[in-house]
Amino acid sequence: MIIPKENHSIMNIKVNYKKIKLKDFLMTELGLSSRLFKKLIKEKNIFVNNKPLNDIYNLVKDDMITIKFEDEKPVYKAQKMDLDIIYEDLDLIAINKNPYILVHPTKTHIENTLTNAIAYYFKSNNINKKVRLVNRLDMDTSGILIVAKNPYGQAQMAKQFKNNIEKKYIAIVDGIIKEDKGRIDLPIMKEEGGIKQIVDERGKR
């Protein structure tokens, strides 16, 4: 049972097992990764009944677990831009991305990206976390962009993208498509001196 959280940095969970190891409970109930669990234990950011504990602790029914995610310094410059937010909770934001805008800064385009806009949104709403992009879209592509507000949200959404989420794209093409279905299986690579992907025998499938 997950109790409503006070902010983006605190997670409270009430134990409903008679007896279970702390690590087993968090990995079973929350799907917490072993890597994140070790990090939180090392930082002493897992508490049971307000006391920081190690990974060998045995939980009992009605114990209250609190997980704290440390505040983080922003990585990218915050810039005020309009964001079309279609969903938001304490762990993630879903943004409707318009075409013709970069998702994240590059060497040649370090400002005026969606990541800069999200950094400004985080700063304005006291979300003291890095911008964690769960998925990315090309500059010319529109679609839904998922951004996590903490490491747990990022790990859970990444797992769903890998196992449960199917991506579909709608494209406008020139000419007549003869077949209703088909497969394009050609090697592609980045164009020399450019950013476009092209078909080339030196590329990857």
Whether 13 maps to a domain, the answer reads yes
Which of the residues 138, 140, 174, 180 is marked catalytic? 138
The pLDDT of residue 34 is: 86
- Express each pLDDT in 105-144 by its tens digit: 988 888 999 999 999 999 999 899 999 999 999 999 999 9
- Residue 5: which pLDDT band, with cuts at 50, 70 and 90? very low
Residues 106 and 144 in one domain: yes
Q: What is the extent of the structural domain holding 13?
A: 2-68
- Residue 4: which pLDDT band, with cuts at 50, 70 and 90? very low
Whether 192 maps to a domain, the answer reads no
Residues 114 and 149 in one domain: yes
Tally of domains within the chain:
2
Residues 59 and 90 in one domain: no
Residues 97 and 152 in one domain: yes
Query: Active site includes 140?
Result: no
Contact 135, 161 (CB under 8 A): yes
- Express each pLDDT in 75-91 by its tens digit: 899 999 999 999 998 88
Contact 37, 27 (CB under 8 A): yes
Residues 43 and 93 in one domain: no
Per the model's pLDDT, the better-predicted residue between 143 and 8 turns out to be 143
